Structure formats: C-alpha cells, structure tokens
Structure 1
Amino acid sequence: MGTFEELVAEGAAVPLEGWDFSWFEGRATEERPPWGYASLIAARLAVVSAALDLQTGGGEVTASAPVLPPRMAATESWPPNALVASRRLPLVVRAADAGPLPFRSSSFDLVISRHPVVTPWGEIARVLRSGGTYFSQQIGAGTNRELTDFMMGPQPVSPARSVEVARADAEAAGLEVLRLEPVSLRVEFFDVGAVVHFLRKVLWTVPGFTVEGYRDRLLDVHEHIQEHGAFVSTSTRFLVEARKPQRG
C-alpha cells in the first residue's frame, strides 16, 4: 500500500481505453449480477443470422462469445474504444450513442448492449426485424450513490435510469417487454487509487471529476479506507429483454 499521493498518481495514470476492469483486481470488487450476461448473449448470438452490439466499448464482452453470427456489427462513439473494438469484432462503426444508427430498417435479429450511456429505443425498434429482440444489461438509477454523495454531497437520484422509465420507453417505441429484472450489488474499494481510476472511467458517477478538483475529498476517502478497510458502495443493474412484435 502506497502513500496517498502515490496511490492517486497511480490511479490517474491508468489508460482508459476499452471496457476492461481487470486492473481493479485486488484493489476493488463488485458483485456480479446473478444472470450471467456474457453467457446469455453468447447463447443468443450463436442462433441468429445478424446482430448489432450498441456502444460496444472495446468489444470485450461480445468478442468473448464462442460463436458470432454471419453478420455481426457494433457501434462505438469514442474513437479510442472504437479502435480497440475493431481489433476484436468484424465491423465496428462510429455512431453517436443516442443515434441515429447507420443501418437500414429491419436489419438485425438481435440488438444487444451492455451498460449503454443512453438507449435509443426508437432506433432499436427500427433496425430490429419483425420478431427480433433487444437484450441488454443496464446501469440502474442511483448506482454507486454512496460514492457520488461522499464526493459531491447529497445528490438527487434521477429516474432516467429506472426500470419504470425503461419499460415505458420500450413500449412507446412499439416493443414488448419480456423481462425486466433489477438487482443491487455490493461494491468495495480497497485503496484510493482504485477510486480515482473508477471515477475517471465511469464518468457519470461524479460528473466533471478531476483529481485536482476533488483532492480534498479523495484524501477523506483515503482516510476512510485506512480506518475501515474499504469504501463500500452499492451498484444497481437491470436486465431488459424486449421484442419487436411479429408482423400480421
């Protein structure tokens, strides 16, 4: 365990490309959702002819599937991530997170996304074929609010990421919600360097975070971890599966 300054500097120096959290091993832990998202999408990718991965990050999750469909496409808005993903997946297209999607209507049997920044429900419904499915693991409302509140003071929890809003938006786009399952998960940070890297990588936790802007609060986090052994927070996730109705 280094000094406060050493740990902060270490967390600030970790590259941000991709969506790989292996750097946190031994420094932070997060419970996994019970459903096993990677296994669920692997099973679905193996049986469709055309699939789209929205906001793929570095393409890590989709590329882990043993079998990809004959037509496998992905979108990513951040150039460094798009470059990483293009090394793993056959077709990665730069596209804004909120759409529009650069694909023809009724192009895909399956659309997937893991932790999308936003969910463009109307565009998803447009590119899905009749009977096609959207399958996604999403970040829920108030995720890691303990860390947000510690750094920023008490903050209101926006309903934008709630399961209620997800259901309403999916149905408004003409999709039938088949599964909507929320879960709360324990998160533990074992050093302040892990907190720094997390806040740099997961930008919505503390919007506008910089080390210099939050140095005093980071010192408080460091002292809290020294006293209690960890900083404990709670992440929220939900699994959503929605289907485009069959024509006729």
Structure 2
Amino acid sequence: MSEFEALLEEGASAPVEGWDFSWFEGRATEERPPWGYAELLAERYRTAGSALDVQTGGGEVVAWALHRASQRASQRAARTAGRAPSPLAATESWEPNVALATRALAPFGGTVAHVADEDPLPFGDAAFDLVSARHPVVAVWPEIARVLRPGGTYLAQHVGVGSAHEVTEAMLGPTPVGQGRHPDTAAADARAAGLEVRDLREVKLRMEFLDVAAVAVFLRKVIWIVPGFTVAAYREQLRALHERIQAEGPFVAHSTRYLIECRKPHRSDSG
C-alpha cells in the first residue's frame, strides 16, 4: 500500500464525533484566539444561576469550563459560586453527539436536548442567566433573546468569514468567500433581537496540516467547509494536496473567529 493510500484510509476511518480534536496532535496545528473562550466561560459559570449551551457538540468545552470553575473556587465559595448552574442544559442537532454530551454533562446535573440547529429552543421564556455557544452553525437570535432572563448574558465564539477558505479551494477550486458569518452582521442581528452587544472581537489564525489524512478528517468533522465531502468523492483533490505537502511542506490555511458577548436589558434600562 502506498503512503497516500495509507493516509487516505486513515483519514476515512478516524472517528469524528464530538469536538475533541486530540486526534490531530502531531498532524495539524491551529493558533488559538487570544481571549481564551473556555476560561471566559468558566468565569461566567461561577456566577450564573442557570445556563444553556446551544449546539454543544460532545459537551467537551462545557464540561471543561464547569470543572475549571469548580477548581478555581475556594472550598467556602464552592458552596455558592463554584457549583454548577441549575438548571444546566444544552442542545445538539447530531444524534451521536447527543449521547456524548449527555455523558459529559451528567456529572454536573446537565441535560441535553436533541434539537435541529435552526429550530426553536425547547425552553420557556426568560429561563437562563447565561446562554453560550462555541462555533454554532447558526445563531437564532430571537430564540437566544427569548430564553435569556433580563440582565442575562450571551457569550459565544463564532466561526468568522472565510474560515479555512484555502482548504475549501483546495477541494473545489476558486470559490467566492461568502459574507454570511461577518461579526458586524451578527451584532446587527443581536441588536435587532433586543440584545445589547457588550464585546465584539475578531482574529485570524494560522492553521497547518502536516499530512493529507489530517485534511480528510478535518473536512469530515467540520462539515460546512466543503458541504457533502467524502474521501471517495474528493480522492483526486486529496492526491494533489498530498503531492503538494510532500513537495512544499505543511499546507497552510487560516481560520477566523470572533468573540461576541451580549446582554439582555432590563425593561427599566434606558436606551
């Protein structure tokens, strides 16, 4: 079996459930945003009475942040600020991830609802102090605003415009960069839903793929980069990319991320 065939087989068979990216260690790298989203989320969990994470994946980020929040609380504070929010809920659209997230959040008393990304949230009005999301496929702003309590916070890290576009073009050829994920659009939609935008930051980050198997697993896992991607359907494009990596070294791409934090105002707030 050639090296390319072996890498292709590995890329087609690696598991892609959840948002655990440890498989990529030694095979791909990506810079991390400077604001440290998981740490910010842990800080919010220390004071939130109730919390919802939308499109949670396998629940890994939420579980890490909850564990971190409890670690950072003193024994005295752990009885109050260090406890997990209650209720603690999450939504997820992909059924294999629902099972992963349920196991991840059960130790914290969390529940996971199987909900399509664009569907209404199955919770009552003003149910949560905190709504969070890491890399949601879509932000349904009216629903986020509806389930937030007055004074509540939406904290999220979204994928920005043209993220990993170099990978898209390696598979599809020259492709226009859509503007649907622009942070200014998100901020405008949040305001239209009645939320105040408190923080909005964007960053461009370097990615490196050291072999073609890493590219294949990335595209199987992050399905919006090349919709409908399969290793078999893109075999020749993957071969060309393999030869490029062999000749030139790691394949370089760039991801974009933005942090957005919003607050639902009290009715008595002016403006």
- Please give the TM-score of this superposition, normalised by the length of structure 1: 0.98
User: 1:178 is aligned with what amino acid?
Assistant: R
User: CA offsets, 1:82-124, max 9 Å, x none?
Assistant: 0000001121111111120000000000000000000010000
Cα distance in structure 2, aligned partners of 1:103 and 1:76: 14
Cα distance, 1:207 vs structure 2: 1.2
Where structure 1 has 5 or more consecutive residues not aligned to the other structure, the ranges are none
1:113-151 superposed Cα distances (whole Å, 9 cap, x missing partner) = 000000010000000000111000000010011111121
1:49 and 2:49 correspond: yes
**Corresponding residue to 2:100 among 55, 80, 84:** 84
Whether 1:244 aligns to 2:264 is: yes
Find the counterpart in structure 2 of residue 39 from structure 1.
39
Runs of 4+ in 1 over 6 A off after TM superposition: none
Q: Which amino acid in 1 is paired with 2:43? A: A
| CA–CA distance in structure 2, aligned partners of residues 74 and 225 of structure 1 | 39
Compute the RMSD of aligned alpha carbons: 0.9
- Identity level (%): 59
SS in 2 for 1:206: coil
**Distance across 2 between alignment mates of 1:46 and 1:13:** 39
* Counterpart-to-counterpart distance in 1, 2:16 and 2:26: 19
What's the CA shift string for 1:166-202, capped at 9, x where partnerless? 0111011011111110000000000000000001011
Q: How does 1:170-181 map to 2 (within 5 A)?
A: 170-181=190-201
Deviates more, 1:21-30 or 1:61-70: 61-70
- Greater CA deviation, 64-73 or 52-61? 64-73
Which residue is equivalent to 1:201? 221
Q: Which amino acid aligns with 1:163?
A: P
Provide Cα deviations, 1:17-67, integer angstroms capped at 9, x if missing partner. Answer: 111000000000000000101100001011110000000000000001224
Secondary structure at 1:70's aligned position in 2?
A: coil
Residue 165 of structure 1: SS of its match in structure 2? helix
2:205 partner letter: L
Question: What's 1:71 paired with?
Answer: 87
| 1:4-29 per-position Cα deviation (integer Å, ceiling 9, x unaligned) | 00001001101121110000000000
- What is the CA distance between 1:76 and its match in structure 2? 0.6
Q: Which residue of 2 aligns with 1:13?
A: 13
| Separation in structure 2 between the aligned mates of residue 97 and residue 45 of structure 1, nearest angstrom | 23
1:167 alignment counterpart: 187
TM-score, normalization: structure 2? 0.89
Aligned partner of residue 33 in structure 2, secondary structure: coil
Residue 110 of structure 1 corresponds to 130
CA offset at residue 70 of structure 1?
Answer: 2.5
Total equivalences in the alignment: 247
